[in-house]
Structure 1
Amino acid sequence: MSHKPGFLNLSLKQIIRKDHSILDVARIRLLYYGLWLAFIAVIALMITFGAQGSNLSLYMAQGASLILLALFKYLTWRADWRRIAHVLLILITVANLANVYVVLQTVNLVTLQLILIIVLFSFYMLGQSFGLFYSLVNIIPVLAFMVLEYHSGYIINFKPEKVDDSVTIIAVLANFILIIFIHSHFYGAFLKNIRQLKQTSEKQSQLNAQMESAINKAEKSSQAKSEFLSTMSHEIRTPLNAVIGMSNLLMMNNPRHDQKENLEILKFSASNLLAIVNDVLDFNKIESGKLEFENIRFNLAELLHNICGSQNIKANEKGLNFHLQIDESLKHRTIIGDPTRLTQVIFNLVSNAIKFTDKGNIWVKAACIEDRHNTITISFSIKDTGIGIKKENLANIFQPFAQESMTITRQYGGTGLGLAIVKQLLELQGVNMYVDTKVNVGSEFSFNMQFPVPTDQEVKKPVVQQIQAKQQVEPAPVPTAEQSAGVLSEIKVLIAEDNPVNVMLMKKLLSKWDITPTFAENGARAVELVQYGNFDIILMDLQMPVMNGFDASKEIRKLPDSRKSNVPIVALTASALVDIREQIFSAGMNDYISKPFKPEDLRDKMLELTTVA
């Protein structure tokens, strides 16, 4: 807290504060020493006027000395330099014009000096506007007096005083001293200000360099973190692929009831571990700012049924009632958006609702709140009868790696990333999340999202027309898993994979579909096998010795035989780099499947890409 000087203060140090600029300090110092110089000059003039018997001039000098002392005292008490500057300028202006028009009735060197003092002092102390004002207030009347005196002479009914040469000498000397003092004082202040600006500029340049270095380090650190997470993802997901894959294979062998129970526990635990890894990786993608949203067509009702299918099972296992409510107007509606990210948002919210609800109900609702020609606004709501959230903890639940309390973390587990990911995914799309919650009653998370709708959608036909159309053209039946496997048994598959556990897993999995694949232990061997053999599809691992999957795919695409160079290539990757999708397609691959994968996903992808199917 700044110290305020008392009324009896006479020290300059007491009235200069740390928040004063260099220019303000110069103004205060100028007034402090300038008032003393002016006071000494006035005292000298008073002595001279008294000796000469110039009463009017003596009275004016005495009044000026008292005003100078009062202003000095006010300066050392309040340090209000602006007000003091105005008072001084008014005082000098009145004195100067009084001398010209009344006391001396002439314009002499002293008059011109006073005008110069006013110009310098007003500009330096008060800036351009007041500088012009006080300069013109003095210059114009003096010029008018000179013009009047030149044309007709100036005569008023008042005898001007005669000033002795000694008075003129003292006044001229004092004025010159004041002019030099004002100019030199502010010249020094300006030089100091320029030096300080130069030092500040140099410091700013150093800070900018340090900031640039820090940004580069942060970018490298972020890149290193992304690469580390990608590597760790690959190292974790590769064994997880084997664990989940083998669990799926064993489940397909009609195990005994006790074996099936153990396999379900094993698969459940591996899936939970995979979900944690995926949460960390998704959060890293969002933080890096490299997350991109797709704009593709999808059926909302179908998507919600797919999301809630597995969640319904989890809710039933806990004895909860699960309700999915979708507006009739949305059930046959195609919208445009990113179904993957919407799935992630709703899946996380529903998973949380089930996790934190021990009894009661879970509601998932999708309602149309606005339907226009080319856009539709849908309200999503996930409500539960769970433990609820304290109002003071609402802000914490959306923070990464945080939950409402340590007790919640210990009791329910989780990384604390789910809601952080949900919030950021919605905010990146310009959508706000709303929370209505009450402790021991439940919570409701809701948000409104606008989707474009394709303007070329088919208008739903009346029921009669649908029946007539169905009678004319029956849709092709969807093949069963056994029928799909029969088709797959006819294709020749090359698998580029260096991990022996994954090789064994793929052998066992493809044997279920009567496929005997050919294996290549690295990318170079895969290119060689394609050159001398014929394959219908290639399943390509990305990280392999000798030659990786990217380079191998590029080499295959360069082969002169069009049948070999155009063979479908599906990447099998455990990587989590944010730009892995772009890298895969840039290398000429047709599609990719992330490890661990579901057998049916691989089967469907192979059926989709092979010409035999």
Structure 2
Amino acid sequence: MSFFNFSIYKILNKDQSILDQARIRLLYYGMVLAFIAMGALFISVYLQHLPYMSASAAVMMVILAGLFKYLTYKPDWRIISHILLVTGTVVNLFTVFYLTQQVPITTIQIIILVIMFSFYMLGQNWGMFFSLLNVLPVLLFMVMAYDHSFFFDFKPERTDDATEIIGVFANFILIIFIHSHLYTAFIKNIRELKATGEEQAALNIKFEKAIQKAEKSSQAQAEFLSTMSHEIRTPLNAVIGMSNLLMMNNPRADQNENLEILKFSANNLLAIVNDVLDFNKIESGKIVFEKIRFNLVELMQNICGGQIIKAEEKGLLFKLDVDSSLRKKIIFGDPTRITQIIFNLVSNAIKFTSQGSVGVRVTCLEDRHNMITVGFSVKDTGIGIKKENLESIFEPFTQESISTTRQYGGTGLGLAIVKRLMELQGVQLNVKSTVGEGSEFLFNMEFPVATEVPSERRFVPKPQATAATPSAFSVPANSNGRVTSTPDAPTPPPVQAPEVAEVLNNELRVLIAEDNPVNVMLMKKLFSKWKIVPTIADNGERAVEIVQYGNFDIILMDLQMPVMNGFDASKEIRKMADPAKANIPIIALTASALFDIKDQVAAAGMNGYVAKPFKPDELMEKIQSLVATV
């Protein structure tokens, strides 16, 4: 603000509240009125030859002029209010105890002015302080004067009636002005608060409607994805299933090669669908982390078993290095999400590495008996990442560049899923990368530790679902106790599903509720390989009728069927009077991707579910586990 500014409009702005603007106006116009009144008093007492009163009035005029100039240069109303109150208090007490040695009506008016001004301008605490600072000494003086114990060796100055009238008139004007001005400001502020409250209430209503609309939109999106997932997974189930069946018939080498390509492409499509669904689940806040017991060494072997095959196919050296101290620890966490994180990082490392190696290292950084800190590292000698692109690679549907997408393919969701899963668990993912030399992804996680020691046993991991067709792989321990693997390590043949008769020692009676004719044909052919002739029901209502008149060991129930869906059919079966029928194990076969499908399956009384497209071995393992417990 210019030092020569005298305009009030230049010191008011929209950032100030209504009350602050009112306080500034009160000081601006109030000091003008006070200066005029003090000027009139100065002339009056000067003409009466009262030197001390004249000097006091002159000092007050100088102070008022200086504060007025300061206000128009820098509108710091708090400092100015304090100075005015301190000055007014000093002058008031000096006048009572020294100049006049009495308490006239003007003194009472000034005390009222101080009380009003201090409370309005500075609030309750300072208002109480300045009020007591003026009232108590004056009361003390009145008591001393009444008791005739007050004596000061100075002849008091006395003003004439005209001066008294000027003082009383000026004080009344200031009292009325202060009260009227700030009362108007308070009323205006209250009205504005009311209007703001009404606007806020209207906004809240709109906000609630927007939330409801967003929730409906989110629900519609989830249902759309579920429907699209079902529609895509259903033909994929047939493609992958038929590929598996044909590969089980000992095809010629050229036929086997064609089937491998077919299955590879189908699995690629399935991986893309799964990535989109997983990312949508995370973004929708539907993700829930489990706290279950597992062995980290076995989990890492499981994850990397299938990845080693992919690395071998590219001629890469694959190393898995797991701290031997973790072998005998059972920890609590979410192995599914850890698998998802490591699997995506390792898949990316293999994808973007054309020669050299990919290494996975798991290290126990800190062991506090009941809690451990584990460091994970996935390192490759691939293409690397530019420094300016290190942040963008974690954005959904984004890769480092268009050329990267064209050359390597993919949806760009893998690292986005990894980053979101880590953020939800409060884990920081760090990246070290040099273009042309490779990248390393590192993170640390804490796990509670169980007290018991796991039994020693050989672990044959189940490979993750990948675009390739991985075989089961067992990672041996080297001489120093660390788990290390290379492409030269022995690879046992794939684990084949055993004959049901050999495992259960009796024939299996299976009811399949499925309306899709292609899936029915697939299931019949698959079960024929296991020497099982299933009974087929083309809808849920028919399945309930068949169960009423027949005996079955297990039911495979599709969820989306005409007439009666799988959920309702399962509920009807569970209500049957015959305990043997009511307790038949039911496995849901679903291509749906609803977030709460697991809960819905359990609520309907089913024993579990297998997602389409499924692996034959996975389905048979599920069947065996449920039938064996009956």
Could you state the TM-score of these two structures normalised by the residue count of structure 1?
0.90
Secondary structure of the corresponding residue to residue 437 of structure 1? strand
Q: Does 1:169 align with 2:186?
A: no
For 1:67 and 1:433, the matched residues in 2 are separated by 64
| Cross-structure match for 1:441 | 437
For 1:375 and 1:167, the matched residues in 2 are separated by 86
What is the CA-CA distance between 1:451 and the residue it aligns to? 3.6
For 1:295 and 1:56, the matched residues in 2 are separated by 86
| Cross-structure match for 2:307 | 311
> Which range moves more in the overlay, 340-349 or 58-67?
58-67
Structure 2: 5+ residue runs without aligned partners? 458-493
Bigger RCO (CA 8 Å, 6+ sep): 2
Secondary structure of the corresponding residue to residue 137 of structure 1? helix
What is the CA-CA distance between 1:529 and the residue it aligns to? 0.7
Rate the CA distance shift 1:340–1:68 in 2: closer, same or farther, 3 A: closer
Read off the aligned partner of 2:396 and give its amino acid letter: P
What is the CA-CA distance between 1:123 and the residue it aligns to? 2.3
For 1:360 and 1:221, the matched residues in 2 are separated by 47
Read off the aligned partner of 1:107 and give its amino acid letter: V
1:490/1:612 contact within 8 Å kept: no
Structure 1: 5+ residue runs without aligned partners? 462-477
Rate the CA distance shift 1:87–1:235 in 2: closer, same or farther, 3 A: same
| Cross-structure match for 2:3 | 7
For 2:322 and 2:75, the matched residues in 1 are separated by 74
What is the CA-CA distance between 1:50 and the residue it aligns to? 4.9
Q: How do residues 326-365 of structure 1 correspond to structure 2 at under 5 angstroms?
A: 326-331=322-327, 334-365=330-361
1:369/1:379 contact within 8 Å kept: yes
Q: How do residues 349-498 of structure 1 correspond to structure 2 at under 5 angstroms?
A: 349-371=345-367, 373-457=369-453, 481=497, 483-484=499-500, 490-498=507-515
For 1:75 and 1:340, the matched residues in 2 are separated by 67
1:11/1:76 contact within 8 Å kept: yes
1:393/1:404 contact within 8 Å kept: yes
What is the CA-CA distance between 1:487 and the residue it aligns to? 5.6
For 1:247 and 1:453, the matched residues in 2 are separated by 43
What is the CA-CA distance between 1:246 and the residue it aligns to? 0.8
| Cross-structure match for 1:96 | 92
Aligned length: 593
What is the CA-CA distance between 1:40 and the residue it aligns to? 2.5
Rate the CA distance shift 1:34–1:335 in 2: closer, same or farther, 3 A: closer
Alignment partner for residue 532 of structure 1, among 525, 531, 549?
A: 549
Deviation per CA, 1:318-371: give whole Å up to 9, x if none. 111222233444456544433322222221111101100000111123333444
Deviation per CA, 1:185-210: give whole Å up to 9, x if none. 11111111211222222222222222
2:511/2:536 contact within 8 Å kept: yes
| Cross-structure match for 1:467 | none
Rate the CA distance shift 1:594–1:112 in 2: closer, same or farther, 3 A: same
2:18/2:185 contact within 8 Å kept: yes
Deviation per CA, 1:111-130: give whole Å up to 9, x if none. 21122112222222233333
Read off the aligned partner of 1:165 and give its amino acid letter: D
Secondary structure of the corresponding residue to residue 152 of structure 1? coil
Rate the CA distance shift 1:213–1:96 in 2: closer, same or farther, 3 A: same
Sequence identity (%): 65
2:540/2:562 contact within 8 Å kept: yes
Alignment partner for residue 616 of structure 2, among 574, 599, 602?
A: 599
2:330/2:452 contact within 8 Å kept: no
Rate the CA distance shift 1:58–1:503 in 2: closer, same or farther, 3 A: same
For 2:96 and 2:448, the matched residues in 1 are separated by 84
Q: Does 1:572 align with 2:589?
A: yes
Q: Does 1:227 align with 2:244?
A: no
Secondary structure of the corresponding residue to residue 379 of structure 2? strand
| Cross-structure match for 1:107 | 103
1:486/1:513 contact within 8 Å kept: no
For 1:34 and 1:335, the matched residues in 2 are separated by 75
Alignment partner for residue 561 of structure 1, among 578, 596, 602?
A: 578
Secondary structure of the corresponding residue to residue 379 of structure 1? strand
Deviation per CA, 1:81-106: give whole Å up to 9, x if none. 33333333344334333433333332
> Which range moves more in the overlay, 325-334 or 79-88?
325-334
Q: Does 1:268 align with 2:264?
A: yes
Deviation per CA, 1:273-322: give whole Å up to 9, x if none. 00111111111222222222334444444433332232222111111122
| Cross-structure match for 1:40 | 36
Could you state the TM-score of these two structures normalised by the residue count of structure 2?
0.88
For 2:347 and 2:549, the matched residues in 1 are separated by 50
For 1:300 and 1:56, the matched residues in 2 are separated by 92
| Cross-structure match for 2:540 | 523
| Cross-structure match for 1:117 | 113
For 1:213 and 1:68, the matched residues in 2 are separated by 56
- Name the Cα RMSD after superposition: 2.6
Rate the CA distance shift 1:336–1:146 in 2: closer, same or farther, 3 A: closer
For 1:386 and 1:481, the matched residues in 2 are separated by 37
Alignment partner for residue 45 of structure 2, among 38, 42, 49?
A: 49
Read off the aligned partner of 1:606 and give its amino acid letter: I
What is the CA-CA distance between 1:183 and the residue it aligns to? 1.3
Q: Does 1:207 align with 2:203?
A: yes
2:328/2:453 contact within 8 Å kept: no
For 1:213 and 1:326, the matched residues in 2 are separated by 53
> Which range moves more in the overlay, 227-236 or 425-434?
425-434
For 2:333 and 2:140, the matched residues in 1 are separated by 81
